[in-house]
Chains A and B, each alone.
Chain A
Amino acid sequence: MNEITYTTQKMAGSYAEGWHIWGWEVPIYLFLGGITAGIIIIAALMMLKKRGKDFPVSTNRVILWAPVFLSLGMGALFLDLTNKLNVLSFYMTFEMTSVMSWGSWILLIIYPVSILMILSTFREGYSELYVKISKKLETIMDGKVLKLLEYMISFSEKNRDVIAKTAIPSGIALGIYTGILLSAFNARPLWNSAILGPLFLVSGISTGAAFIILLSEKDERHFISGIDVKLIMTELFILVLYFIGQITGGASKSEAINIFLGGDLFTPVFWIFFVFAGLILPLFLDWQESRGIEIHPKLQPLLVLFGGVMLRIILVKAAFILRDTSIHKMLY
C-alpha cells in the first residue's frame, strides 16, 4: 500500500517536472516562430509584387522584426535553463531524417534569408535611419565598413526577386515546422495529427498579418486586414479538419480530443479564448467595420495575436494534462 502511494507521489513529481519543461517557453517559441514565418512570407510576396510605394510597412519595414522575433523565441527556449539539455537536443541531433533536426536546418536558412531581405529593403523602408547610420559609419575605418554595407545592400537590392523567391519556401517550412514539432511526439495523441503543420502555418501567417496591421495605416491596414480575414477563415476550416481527423482517428485520438469537446476546464478555455476571442471575434469586428462602425484599429489585430498565443499554450498544456490523467487512470 505504502509502496503504491510512494510510486504515485514519485510519478506525480515527475508530471510536475514535465509540466515545467513545457511551461510557457515552448508555446511562446512556437508562437514567435509562427509570426516570424508569417512576416517573412507576407513580406516576400509583397516584395515580389513590388508594392513598396502603396504598402511600405509590409513590403519594406516589417521584415526587420523577423530576426528579432525569432531570436526572442529562441531566447524563450534557452531561458528555461534547468531543461536546457532537453531543448538543445532539438537542435543538436543532426539526423537528416529526424523532425527535431529539421528545425536546425530551417533556422540555418531563415536567419540569412531574413537578413538579406532586410538589406534589400532597408534603404527604402528606413531611409532616414539609413542616412544616419551611413554618416556614423563614414568615420569608421576610412569608410570601409560603409562601403561593405553599401555593396551588400546594392547586391541584395539587385537580387531582390531571388531572395524573395527563396524566402517564401523557407517561411512556409518554418511555419509548418512549428506544428510538426508537436506532432512528432507520437506518444501524445492530441498532437498526433499531420494537420497541425498547416494549422500552425496558417495561424502563423495570420498573426504575422495581424502584426503588420498593428504597424500600418489606412489603405495598407485595410488591404492586410482583408488578407487576414481569409487566413482566419482558412484556419477555422483547418481546425474543423483537425477535429474530424482526431475524432475518427482511433480510440486514443478521439479520447484525447474529448478534452476540447466534453472535458472540464480546457473545453471552455479552448473555445472561448482561442476560437471565440482569437478567430470569431476578429471576423465579427471586421464585419462590423465594413458596416461602417468605428472600431479601435488595434483591437482586431491584438485579438488575433492573443488567439495565436492561446492556441499554442492550450494545445501544449492540454497534452500534459491528458498525460497526467491517463497515468492516473493506469494507477488507480
Chain B
Amino acid sequence: MTKKNYTSPYLAGVVLGLVLLASYVIAGRGLGASGAMMKAVVVVEKAVSQEHVDSNSYLAQYGGGDTNPLNDWLVFEILGVVAGAVISGLIGGRMKKETNRGPRITDRQRWIFAVIGGALFGFGARLARGCTSGVALSGGATLALGSWVTMIAIFAGAYGLAYFTRKLWI
C-alpha cells in the first residue's frame, strides 16, 4: 500500500471549518488542544502534591481540591483528535515512524529543537489563553478581537524568526 497524497488544502479547510461549526452548534464552544495538555500537567502535579496545586491560584482552577482535571470537554476532544488522525493516517497509508526535518540537521538535533519549540509554544499558549486551535482558529471564526490579535502575533513571531531558523528546515 503506497502513501496517498494529502487532501487539497481548500477541501481540507472546508471539512475543518464544518467540524469547527459543528463544535459550536453542538457544544457552544470551539476546538482546542493546549487546554487539554494543561490538564495533563495538572494531573501530574496533583499526584505529586495536592497542596502545591491548591496553593497556586492558576493551577487550582484546573485541579484544586476534588476537581478532576480530566473531567473536561477538551480532554475527550483531544482523545478524538488522536483517534481521528490514526484513522486518517491508516486510510492514507501515512503511518510511518519517522522524524521530519530539514536536510542540514540530524534527527537528534531536530528532537532537541522540538523540545525547545514545544516549551516556548506551551508557555505562550498558556499566556495567550489558547493555541492555534483554540485561539487562532476557533476565536478567528467567531471574530473575537483578541483572537485575531493573537493570530497575527503568532504569524509575526514565526515569520520574524524564520530567517534565523532556516537551517532547521531548508
Please say whether the chains A and B touch (CB closer than 8 A).
Answer: yes
Contact B71–A293 (Cβ < 8 Å): no
The one of B68, B79, B83, B91 in contact with A293, judged by C-beta atoms closer than 8 angstroms, is: B91
Sorting the interface of chain A by its residue count into under 10, 10 to 19, 20 to 34 or 35 or more gives: 10 to 19
Decide yes or no: A288 and B91 within 8 Å by CB, A265-B71, A293-B1, A294-B1 being known contacts. yes
Contact B83 A292 (CB under 8 A): no
- A259–B1 Cα distance when bound, in Å, is 42
Q: Which residue of A lies closest to B79 (CB)?
A: A272
| Cα distance A285–B79 in the bound complex, in angstroms | 18
Interface string of A262-289 (1 = CB under 8 A from B): 0011001000100011000100110010
Would B76 and A293 count as touching, CB distance under 8 A?
A: no
**Bound CA–CA A291/B91 (angstroms):** 9
B90 touches A (CB below 8 Å) = yes
Distance A293 CA – B95 CA, assembled complex (angstroms): 10
The residues of A that contact B71 with a CB separation of less than 8 Å are 264-265
List A residues at the B interface (Cβ < 8 Å).
264-265, 268, 272, 276-277, 281, 284-285, 288, 291-295
Interface residues of B (CB under 8 A from A): 1, 68, 71, 76, 79, 83, 87, 90-91, 93, 95
* Partner pick for A288 among B79, B83, B90, CB 8 A cutoff: B90
Q: Are A276 and B76 touching (Cβ within 8 A)?
A: no
| CB-based closest 5 A-B pairs | A293-B1, A292-B1, A288-B90, A268-B76, A265-B71
Kindly list chain A residues whose C-beta atoms are within 8 Å of the C-beta of B79: 272
B1 touches A272 (CB 8 A): no
Q: Which residues of B contact A291 (CB under 8 A)?
A: 1
Whole-angstrom CA separation of A284 from B90 in the bound complex: 10
Bound CA–CA A293/B91 (angstroms): 8
Among A268, A276, A285, A292, residue most surrounded by chain B Cβ atoms (within 10 Å) = A268
A288 — which chain B residues lie within 8 A by C-beta? 90-91
> Which of A264, A265, A272, A293 is in CB contact (< 8 Å) with B90?
A293
B83 contacts A285, C-beta separation under 8 Å: no
Residues A284 and B87 in contact in the complex (CB < 8 Å), given A265-B71, A268-B76: yes
Cβ of B29 to closest chain A Cβ, rounded Å: 16
Inter-chain contacts of B68 with A (CB < 8 A): 265
Contact residue among A264, A276, A294 (Cβ-Cβ distance under 8 Å from B83):
A276
Determine the distance from Cα of A295 to Cα of B91 in the docked complex, in whole angstroms: 10
Q: Which residue of B lies closest to A284 (CB)?
A: B87
Report Cα–Cα, A294/B68, bound state, in Å: 39
Bound form: Cα–Cα A295–B95 in Å: 8
For the complex with contacts A264-B71, A268-B76, 10 further pairs of A-B residues with Cβ separation under 8 Å are: A272-B76, A272-B79, A281-B83, A284-B87, A285-B90, A291-B1, A292-B1, A293-B1, A293-B90, A294-B93
- Chain A contacts of B91 at CB under 8 A? 288, 293
Can you list 11 A-B pairs, Cβ within 8 angstroms, ordered by A?
Answer: A265-B68, A268-B76, A272-B79, A276-B83, A277-B83, A281-B83, A285-B90, A288-B91, A291-B1, A293-B1, A294-B1
